[in-house]
Amino acid sequence: MANWSLLGYAGPEPPERVAAARQAAGRTEHIFQMLNSSITADTSLDFDAVVIGSGCGGAVAAAELACAGHRVLVLEKGKYFSLSEMSGVEGEALDQLYERGGLVSTEDTGLAVLAGGTFGGGSAINWACCLRTPDYVRQEWATEHGLKRFATDEFGDALDAICKRINVTSTGISHNRNNELFIDGCQKAGYEVEDAPQNMADVSPGAPGAGFICAGDRYEIKQSMTVTFLRDAAAARVPAQFADRCKVSEVTHSKGVATGVRATIIGSDGQPHQLTIRARVVVVACGSINSPALLLRSRLPNKNGLIGKNLRLHPVSIVTAKVPAGAPDVVSWEGAPMTAVSNECARGPFGDNYGCKLECPSIHAGLGATGVAGLSKPGKHFKQEVLNLRRLTSIIVLVRDKDSGEVRLDKNGEPRLYYNLSEHDQASMLDGLEKAIRIAAASGVEAVGTTQTALGALRTLPPMSMVEARAAAVDGLVADVRRVGFPLYSVTLISAHQMGTCKMGSSAQTSVVNADGQNWEVSGLFVSDASVFPTSSGSNPMLTTLGTADQEAAAAKLQALRQAPAFGHQFAHKSRSNKVLMTSCNFQLDSGSQCGCVIQEGWALSCSHIFCAKHAQEWFSKSDCCPVCKNNTTNAQMTQVGRPPDESRLQLLGMLLTRPPTDIQLAASTAINFWEHQKFEEFRRDVTREQEFAVRLKRFISSSRKELTEVETLKNAKKAGTEELRRQLREAEHRLKQDRDEVATLESRIQQLSESYRQELSRATGVQTPFRARMR
């Protein structure tokens, strides 16, 4: 910080000014309450669904499930920071908000990896660039991977809804100097360029905090998950609960069904405790590094061995340039960082849509100085160059990698990344670097260079007035870039997008999860993050992740309803005009299942759980708490829940007349809660029936269409066979006619020969007769 003034780096604003700007904009912070505050020992809890991870995928899943009335717990490995706990300082933000403090890399250290490691996941640190899934990617996933949903209007509608919720806009966007130079260079070079939509509450020039959204969005200008979907989950009819500093060690499962998770959580005493969660639905949303690691630790069958495979990273290289002295400073840390994008080389050098995008990064003092170190000589030269930090402009080359790497576990069960830049992807990156250099040169920069260490410092270009000399210098630099290539340890490569390690597909042989995100081998286990991408997305993956998670959430909700246990609140029709409330015992057996026996007389507790006389006597002889939820049972009542309403009402009135007012009030409150629970369960059952009917109807229609198609195909085949037989018959008749004609010709010839023979014989006989007569 002591050197900030020398660099011309203002740094983040003080907290009081940030709070004032937030208040002036009418933004109110939501403080999330963490379950950790109630944890002081090893704990077991029950929920309908547990969501592991609070990034884009997990936030959408949590919101959808909670708003559908399910009890949801969101577990986050990183720490939750309120706005006042964030400093906005780049180095501190790396420690607080990034995975492993921003020090993740591939095993050979050839590629640095940046990923979110805090509450809100990657949405807490990304640059607000909201690009939709390219049409060619959606078509590829639909046709080559059997995921037809991506090519439908349904997925497009999901993206529309997501964009509306996170306030994505492409109008009125203001560009900082870095993006202005990029746009100007693209236009002068004749390259395609367009505005990049933003999920920002303020896209006007000089929007407070826009340049610091990668170091903690203290202004809440960015519509990240903590501002949108996680807040929706917290405000749901059945509010979701949250826990931070909670690392899940494994997903528990039995006989092919997910049953919950085991985790280690930091409690209110600052000590680690074991946390066991029992849940009907488990949503893994830890990101493409940690999701496969969790599944591998959970000892899933993994028969096809694909968990952790297919790692895509969108490898990035950077072109850095320096504007001339006297020109307006770039100051790339001011203003929204990534507001323009060029698809000039998206098709790629091979025309297969595995090319690259060109965008502008956010460069603060720390990252900027690191970049300068790779573009200058050590010592004095570095100090001279780093003083020009305000004059530096940068363009990133983001490659849609066609080839992939792998996530494996080390001996401690932690993920390790194995990845090499393939020849195909190197060609794409070289194509992008060339265009980025030409864009920078066209914008009028003084010097330009890449992160290839063999090229050394920024290469000074002749002035714009020396057109031919400048063009020759640019061509020479491009030639050197291609010649040097990307030898290991000789180039700086970065990844901010990790994808594909729990691949989605239409076949259990070629993927980890199905089209709904559910694991092929364990029912009730969903994966909801960018790890399900079949390939790299070819664009900043946030919207694709959110849209995919939205589609998956519908299946997760249905799964939660299908597996909902009977809490004893089921209505049975005794006659058309008289409903009798039938109940089943909620006592949990050693096997983990409920007793389930239908009872009409039993013990009803204030927590709405009901038990048969056998299990009530057995349990309450040794304990005074509910065996299901562990609540105190001082208000347990023997009740005949199966009697007709009039008789039950009279019995209840008789009981209440002998009770004090406080007990009557408590009984009324319990009855209301009990009735609400009954109606809610009835609603859930009706919804389930409707959804199951819709599924059965859809399957019937699909099956009927399939059968009709098969019948039509068989009909066409038989028709074709008949035509073929007729053709063969016609050919046979034709050959028969030809044979008959040939036989007739032969017979005629034979007759001619016979006649000729008789004539010859007759002549011969006429000559011999006189001779013979003379002999006699």
Catalytic residues: 497
Using alpha carbons, select from 137, 25, 250, 105 the residue that is nearest to residue 530.
137
Q: At what angle do helices 365-374 and 90-97 cross, to 10 degrees?
A: 100
Residue 95 Rama label (left phi>0; alpha psi -120 to 50; beta): alpha
Using the CB atoms, write b or e for 586-614: b if 16+ within 10 Å. bbbeeeeebeeeebeebbbbbbbbbbbee
Sign of the dihedral through C-alpha 203, 206, 207, 209:
positive
Q: What is d(CA 508, CA 646) in angstroms, rounded to the nearest whole number?
A: 56
Cβ-contact 260, 279 below 8 angstroms: yes
Tell how strand 272-284 and strand 525-527 pair up: parallel
Read off the tokens for 431: 């194509």
Q: What is d(CA 120, CA 141) in angstroms, rounded to the nearest whole number?
A: 27
Residues making up the chain, counted from first to last: 776
Cβ-contact 297, 262 below 8 angstroms: no
- What torsion, rounded to 10 degrees, do the Cα atoms 519, 522, 523, 529 define? -30
Cβ-contact 499, 312 below 8 angstroms: yes
Q: What is d(CA 107, CA 374) in angstroms, rounded to the nearest whole number?
A: 21
Q: At what angle do helices 542-562 and 153-165 cross, to 10 degrees?
A: 100
Using alpha carbons, select from 639, 674, 642, 640 the residue that is nearest to residue 574.
642
Return contacts of 676-684, CB within 8 angstroms, 24+ apart.
Answer: 677/567, 677/569, 677/608, 678/569, 678/571, 678/581, 680/69, 681/564, 681/567, 681/569, 681/570, 682/569, 682/571, 684/69, 684/561, 684/564
DSSP 523: B
Sign of the dihedral through C-alpha 586, 590, 592, 597:
negative
